Amino acid sequence: MFFKRTKRDAARASTTSDSHEADSIATMPEPLNAAQVRRIVEPDTLAFTTTRDLEPISGLIGQERALKAIHFGADIKAHDFNMFVLGPPASGKSTAVKAYLHGKTAEGVTLLDDWVYVNNFLDPNRPRALSLPPGRAGELAKAMLAAIDELRATLPAAFEAEDYQVRARTINEEFSSSQDEAFEALNSKASSQNIAILKTPTGFTMAPMSEGKVVKPETFNGLPEDMRKQVEAKIEALQKELVVILERMPKLDKARRAKLDVLNKETGAVAVSEALREVRLAFKDLDNVSKYLDAVESDLVANAALFLKDENKPSPEVGARQSVLTRRDPRFRRYMVNVMVSHKATLARNADAPVGVPIVEEDNPTYGSLIGRIEHLAEMGTLVTDFLLIKSGALHRANGGYLLLDARKVLLSPFTWEALKRTIKGRSIRIEQPAETQGFATTQSLDPEPIPLHLKVILFGEAELYYRLAAGDPEFSRLFKVQADFDDSIARSPENDLAYARLIGAITLRHGLKPVDASGVARMIDEGARLADDQEKLSIEIGRIADILREADYWAGTSAHEVITRDDVAKAITEHMQRSDRLRDKSQESIERGIVLVDTGGEKIGQINGLSVLQLGDFAFGRPTRITARARPGRGRVTDIERESHLGGALHSKGVMILWGFLAGRYALDVPLALAASLVFEQSYGGVDGDSASSTELYALMSALAEVPIRQSLAVTGSVNQRGEVQAIGGVNEKIEGFYDVCLAGGLSGDQGVIIPKANGQNLMLREDLVQAIDKRKFAVHAISHVDQGIEILTGVKAGRRGADGRFPAGTINRLIEDKLRIFAERARALSAGGNNSPDGDRSIS
């Protein structure tokens, strides 16, 4: 036994009969033994020497349900059966999904399309999207660039050729001779009538002549009137003929230019056709490319003059430098090809195999990186763009395959979640500015043709996020119909222990670590149970297991070990904890120095040690806290000081209400519960939540009512229901270890320990040093299922059960409490009769 009967117990018992004295002394139950607080694996039970002797496991263990869901979600063809993979971080869910999808890629069952954007010559603001067989998008882009390079050399040469010059000269001469003949005939006619046709800067004019010389105006004005009228009539008639000739000139020039245009087109068409011939031959099997080349050829022929204005005339050879100049020249951008998706790299790896499905994991799923974007260039203070500035997104690269996204990152990126849903529903990728989707005007001037979408989107996230989306977004469940739910642990069994060892072996091979011997594997299995907080489970958080093994490999190297041993694993775990426990040390120091008041010895009425857990990142530690209770006559209410000061959470308030329900249900059967009580976590400044201290608070209140002291060498955790049953809580290992560390710092007395819910016994995987202390009976862990058991351990006094007379046995805790509450009720009745309806000034609330 760890506890003895106190003098106070004996004094109280002396006021009763001998039988009552004997009945009121509690019999202390045996605490848990070392085997019950930590389940370990003996290395001798493992049938191997090191993990090198084992076949590494492929895939995950214990995730059959999730793996079946992944297989189903990846294989079903329906576009709305996208997948949400949920589970805790580092559970290996991403690795499992990618491993299965890469297996599908290796099968090479899918042929994918390349996609390009090209200029729409009829409507440049609506670029066209062309699909091509895998690997041919880049070929088309290079072929078009080579064709333009060639035209930069051949078109000017064609127009400088002698044949073209002769034909062009003939057309111009025809126009010139026709014009000259008309003017010569008119001039001859005018000369025969002594009229001169003169060309001035402002046009043509006519004047009379005499003896081959133009008559001066003053001389002409001196002529007889009838002679002047005759001359003027001749001039007027000749002017009309001149007007006719001049009106015919634009028509003749238009005809000339039309003939030249036909000549230019014939000349350009030959050069363009020759330049595009190889492109047409290379893509003659693709109708959409052939139609595009038709449009290119028509536009090239119509705009052959662009090539005649080339200041940097290229050499006939097509070289890399020339291609760069062509690509940068704004005149020729309209004929380039913007490759959005190309599978050439995949083909290069295995030219004989068909292209497998793409697997794209986008680590930064912003709107632009997911949907694609249209970039702009600043020219003369204006933002301009064209189809070559359209940039692909992850959806383009994953089209035909699988897109892997972190759900939380998608939701945190503005506009991205709605755009993703819109794209999945529409089954096409439409590139537009985010502001446009909201109806705002932007500098965007392009409306690219949408690209058809055929892919599966796979989101990764925690279970809480999945359920929130399912509840808050009606479209989510219609688009993500496959749920792959990863567990974070597997059941303990000899088969799973061996599978765990094979998993450890696989991790060491993947990371190039030393093999782990049987003792190291046994220690890893123990730690797996600790991570799972369950003696019957093993954690399969692959990331955490791999971290421990990599740290253990480091320590094995510093110790010149050829294999990773138990000591290396233990050191890795200890060192990791020490790197994170500065705040825990500060907390322990504050208790050791008496700044935070926690007693580990003696007895106090209405005072008890509670246990809580602080979570800081991935490190959690237990911290004992003093809880006190005071009781007096009142209106039957318990004041939760934490709640009154707005430091208590909803769950903690619920726990206080439950313990009040227990008090009322047990002790206020025939009298009112005329109680005014207060409960508080002493020196708590950061808020309290959770109901794991409700049994602890109940014990403190029972002690205050019964006026029976509680042993301060004990700490308590556990929630309670209205029937007094003690229920399981979380963080039991950290809570026990936190109080043990406080006791250890002050010196173990042999009667220190903790009281936990019996249901938490299966969660115990305590530290090895604490287990040794328990084995040496220097520290105790008591597992109980009811508050009556707990109060007996804490006080050494029996709780007591109601007898046939409806009363608890004299001297028991329950009898003392009931008697005290009867006294309170009588006092309240007396005060009420005296006209005071507020005994003891009670202002408490429940």
Q: How many alpha carbons lie under 13 Å from residue 210 in its C-beta half-sphere?
A: 8
Summarised one tens digit per residue, pLDDT across range 67-108 is: 899 889 988 888 899 999 998 887 778 888 888 888 776 554
Contact at 8 Å (CB) between 367 and 415?
A: yes
Q: Return the closest-CA partner of residue 7 out of 561, 448, 602, 557.
A: 602
Q: Return the closest-CA partner of residue 736 out of 720, 749, 755.
A: 755
* Per-residue tokens: 572: 């890795």
Averaged pLDDT of the chain = 83
**Is residue 390 predicted with pLDDT exceeding 80?**
yes
pLDDT value of position 315: 52
309 or 723, greater pLDDT? 723
Rounded Cα distance between 148 and 628, Å, is 89
Hey, what amino acid is at 792?
Answer: E
Average pLDDT (778-805) is: 92
404 or 320, greater pLDDT? 404
DSSP state of 838: S
Average pLDDT (743-748) is: 90
- Give DSSP secondary structure letters for 610-667: EEEEEEETTEEEEEEEEEEEEEEESSSEEEEHHHHTT-B-HHHHHHHHHHHHHHHHHH
524-528, 607-611, 616-620, range with the lowest pLDDT: 616-620
Sign of the CA dihedral running 485, 488, 493, 495: positive
Q: How far from 698 is each of 440, 608, 641, 669, 810, CA to CA, in Å?
A: 61, 10, 15, 19, 21
- pTM of the shown model: 0.77
Give the CA dihedral 186, 187, 192, 195, nearest 10 degrees. Answer: 110
Strand partners, 605: none
Summarised one tens digit per residue, pLDDT across range 578-607 is: 888 888 888 888 888 888 888 889 999 999
Rounded Cα distance between 562 and 553, Å, is 10
Rounded Cα distance between 798 and 817, Å, is 12
Do β-strands 537-539 and 489-491 pair in parallel, antiparallel, or remain unpaired? antiparallel
**Is residue 530 predicted with pLDDT exceeding 50?**
yes
Q: How far from 61 is each of 67, 497, 569, CA to CA, in Å?
A: 10, 11, 22
**Is residue 660 predicted with pLDDT exceeding 50?**
yes
397-406, 438-447, 494-503, range with the lowest pLDDT: 438-447
Summarised one tens digit per residue, pLDDT across range 688-724 is: 777 788 889 899 999 999 999 999 999 999 999 989 9
Q: Return the closest-CA partner of residue 194 out of 234, 252, 150, 146.
A: 234
Rounded Cα distance between 533 and 526, Å, is 11
Domains and CATH numbers, the chain: 7-14+586-841 (3.30.230.10), 36-62+487-580 (1.10.8.60), 68-110+356-485 (3.40.50.300), 135-341 (no CATH)
Sheet holding 338-341, edge to edge: 128-132, 114-118, 338-341
Q: Return the closest-CA partner of residue 374 out of 425, 436, 455.
A: 436
Give the pLDDT band (50/70/90) at residue 392.
very high
Sign of the CA dihedral running 487, 490, 496, 498: positive
339-348, 411-420, 648-657, range with the lowest pLDDT: 339-348
Average pLDDT (152-178) is: 77
Determine what percent of the chain is predicted with pLDDT higher than 70. 88
The set of residues, in sequence order, having a beta carbon less than 8 Å from that of 293 and lying 6+ positions away, is: 276, 279, 280, 283
Give the pLDDT band (50/70/90) at residue 164.
confident
Q: How far from 511 is each of 522, 525, 549, 564, 754, CA to CA, in Å?
A: 20, 19, 9, 14, 41
The set of residues, in sequence order, having a beta carbon less than 8 Å from that of 103 and lying 6+ positions away, is: none
Rounded Cα distance between 572 and 554, Å, is 8
Catalytic center residues: 692, 735
Degrees, nearest 5: CA angle 808-811-816: 70
pLDDT value of position 350: 45
**Is residue 151 predicted with pLDDT exceeding 70?**
yes
Summarised one tens digit per residue, pLDDT across range 47-73 is: 899 999 998 887 678 788 888 998 899
Give the pLDDT band (50/70/90) at residue 834.
low
pLDDT value of position 680: 86
- The whole-angstrom distance between residue 753's C-alpha and the CA centroid of its chain comes to 44
Summarised one tens digit per residue, pLDDT across range 212-256 is: 777 777 777 777 777 878 877 877 787 777 777 776 677 767 777
Grouping H, G, I as helix, E, B as strand and the rest as coil, residue 285 is coil
DSSP state of 331: G
Give the pLDDT band (50/70/90) at residue 412.
very high
Summarised one tens digit per residue, pLDDT across range 439-473 is: 555 555 788 999 999 999 999 999 999 999 999 99
Give the pLDDT band (50/70/90) at residue 110.
low
Give the CA dihedral 732, 734, 739, 740, nearest 10 degrees. Answer: 110
- Length of the chain in terms of residues written: 846
**Is residue 839 predicted with pLDDT exceeding 60?**
no
Rounded Cα distance between 30 and 775, Å, is 13
Give the pLDDT band (50/70/90) at residue 655.
confident
The set of residues, in sequence order, having a beta carbon less than 8 Å from that of 143 and lying 6+ positions away, is: 278, 279, 282, 283
Contact at 8 Å (CB) between 359 and 98?
A: yes
Q: Return the closest-CA partner of residue 659 out of 496, 515, 817.
A: 817
Hey, what amino acid is at 48?
Answer: F
**139 C-beta neighbours (distance < 10 Å), count:** 19
Alpha helices in 630-785 (DSSP H): 641-644, 650-667, 694-706, 732-746, 768-775
Average pLDDT (163-173) is: 76
pLDDT value of position 711: 94
Strand partners, 714: 753
Query: Token match 């399309």: residue?
Result: 113
Rounded Cα distance between 704 and 530, Å, is 37
- Give DSSP secondary structure letters for 306-327: HHHT-SSPPPSS--HHHHHHHH
96-105, 113-122, 412-421, 793-802, range with the lowest pLDDT: 96-105
**Is residue 399 predicted with pLDDT exceeding 80?**
yes
Q: Return the closest-CA partner of residue 742 out of 837, 622, 607.
A: 622
